[in-house]
Amino acid sequence: MNKRQLGKNGPEVSALGLGCMGMSFSYGTPPDKPQMISLLRAAVDRGVTFFDTAEVYGPFINEELVGEALSPIRDQVVIATKFGFRLDPEGNRPWTGLDSRPEHIRAVADASLKRLRIDTIDLFYQHRVDPNVPIEEVAGAVQELIRQGKVRHFGLSEAGVQTIRRAHAVQPVTAVQSEYSLWWKTPGEELLPTLEELGIGFVPFSPLGRGFLTGKIDENTRFDSGDLRNNLPRFTPEARHANQAMVDLLNGIAKIKHATPAQIALAWLLAQKPWIVPIPGTTKLSRLEENMGAADIVLTPEDLQEIDAASSKIAVRGERYPEELGRMTGI
């Protein structure tokens, strides 16, 4: 797989990374751990070098999974994890709030290093902006971890442009992670120009609309009782019916390109900027290989213009998050 550099001074990684959250929780009953260890190592064998996890995924067990799977091939991969939530030390969910106090960041870093079985975290994101802690203090805490050799690069997740600028002035931000896809194009309006100006890489999560843009979900789909999509406004049956128009658009282009809707959705993202690295998640080898095939699809300027013109006429229905989570984004 082709490589991309995450920002001006960031690491070189595979053009597509792998989001690991769903391997442990969030989309129903997760598969067996040995199966996911095998999938993670298969991803490396196929050229994926960038892996995304977080302490809150599980919590804790996703970092443990990634650590067990990738520690034998540590020198071949770049591992990103995150801090910023207040969690029960026993691992009981749900999280109880945000916490980006410097002392908490230091404690999370030490715990994540142990779970991941590594000496240095390649990319350490603030998972959500904490309105109670100045971002300058957060950046300073990560800067100290970088000086200590515990962290290589600083990242922000779902942060607004002013927060990014303030953080970057203290400790250069290597990458920003936010949702971005054909059905959530808002980052392209203000965020991407800012990142380009500052030389910061961009990591879109949920690049396939939490599975919707694959074309495998419709208004009649029934999710497992533990699937977070049951609680997302964009995934009500009514919203899925209305949003089918976006999948129909992708299907039409996919047939012309001899590809799948998922591959077209990912290829569109890759074509936006050379420093964008999407991290689609999956628990299936077949889907991993399908997603990786997107890196070989070339969308011409005419293709992109057609996609943008058609998608701009589709009014996506439903908010991304319920109100509580929605308040944590774009600060």
Measure the CA–CA gap between 281 and 9, rounded to whole angstroms: 26
Residue 57 designated active-site: yes
| Buried/exposed code over 19-39 (b: 16+ C-beta within 10 A; e: otherwise) | bbbbbbbbbbebeeeeebbeb
Cα 100 from chain centroid (whole Å): 20
Residue in the structure block whose two tokens are 């308040």: 327
Helices (H) and strands (E) in the chain, counts: 11, 11
Q: Can you tell me whether residue 1 is helix, strand or coil?
A: coil
CB 163 within 8 A of CB 190: no
| Cα dihedral across residues 26, 32, 38, 39: positive or negative | negative
Q: Which of 27, 57, 180, 321 is catalytic?
A: 57
| Buried/exposed code over 278-296 (b: 16+ C-beta within 10 A; e: otherwise) | bbbbbbeeebbebbbbbbe
CB 43 within 8 A of CB 279: no
| Radius of gyration over every alpha carbon of the chain, rounded to an integer in angstroms | 19
CB 7 within 8 A of CB 175: yes
User: Virtual CA dihedral for 231, 236, 240, 241, nearest 10 degrees?
Assistant: 180
300 CB-contact burial (10 Å; exposed 0-12 / middle 13-18 / buried 19+): exposed
Q: Which one-letter DSSP state was computed for residue 73?
A: G
Q: Which residues are catalytic?
A: 57
